[in-house]
Amino acid sequence: MEKELKKAFLAQVNIPEDTGKIFASYAKQFEELMMIYQCAIQEVTTKLEILSHEMSVRQQRNPIESIKYRIKKPKSIAEKLIRNGKDVSLESVSENLNDVAGVRVICSFIEDIYTVANMLTQQDDIVLLAVKDYIKNPKPNGYRSYHMIIEIPVFFSDKKQYIKVEVQIRTIAMDFWASLEHHVKYKKDIPDPEGIAARLQKCAEVISATDEEMQNIAKHIEML
């Protein structure tokens, strides 16, 4: 499957037809670019794992529940570039996409999200490029999550390179909602899509109220 997606990406790039050689060299460059993003993910997840380890020892409660990550698939990369009216080329990937490397942090409580975001961005090798707070400003469909685009230095054998990583931080409940909504979004031929969207929107409101109440209870029993 991965190979097919890679082909789909490469097929959309303008390279001369005849050339197994050029194609192979382009595929190599693509692989190298993905390797660079993978390394940036490793750097960010290591930082988060260190924070998680430290807090599990030094504090009575660790705000980080779990850490996930993904590299954007070649097909999604190509689709997003096309959707945004950009060239499909290697240069265009680095120039126009912020979320090829994605790290997701799952927290128990809403306040934990801001605690983790601050702990990460106050590290002096991280550059914070952009923040989208979909918790304070939820999307119309009900999506809630805290997004940051950061740049992190990665040290290779011959150079230091700053790489962009999208960090999404959300509660367990927000993550549960986003997984189902993501599934619905990409599933074809769903009966009554408007009805499903309305029900999901309702669930997002319920989840948001529950997240707040859980936080209030945790504060009340002095857990936070």
- Which residue is associated with the tokens 């991280």? 126
Binding mask 144-173 for ligand 0O2 (x = CB under 6 A): ---x--------------------------
Name residues whose C-beta falls within 8 Å of residue 71's C-beta, 6 or more positions apart in sequence: 34, 37, 38, 41, 100, 101, 102
131: tokens are 């923040």
60 φ/ψ angles, rounded to the nearest 5 degrees: -75, -15
80 lies in the site for ligand 0O2, by CB under 6 A: yes
Annotated active-site residue 194? The verdict is no
Count of CB atoms situated within 10 Å of the CB of 133? 15
Work out the burial of residue 77: count CB atoms within 10 Å of its CB; fewer than 13 is exposed, 13-18 middle, 19 or more buried.
buried
Catalytic residue among 166, 181, 205, 222: 166
Binding flag, residue 199, ligand 0O2 (CB under 6 A):
no
Is 98 a binder of ligand 0O2 (CB under 6 A)? Answer: yes
Closest contact distance (angstroms) between CB of 12 and ligand 0O2 is 17
Smallest gap from Cβ 132 to ligand 0O2, in A, equals 5
Q: Which residues form the interface with ligand 0O2 (CB under 6 A)?
A: 72, 76, 80, 98-99, 132, 139, 141, 143, 147, 178, 181-182
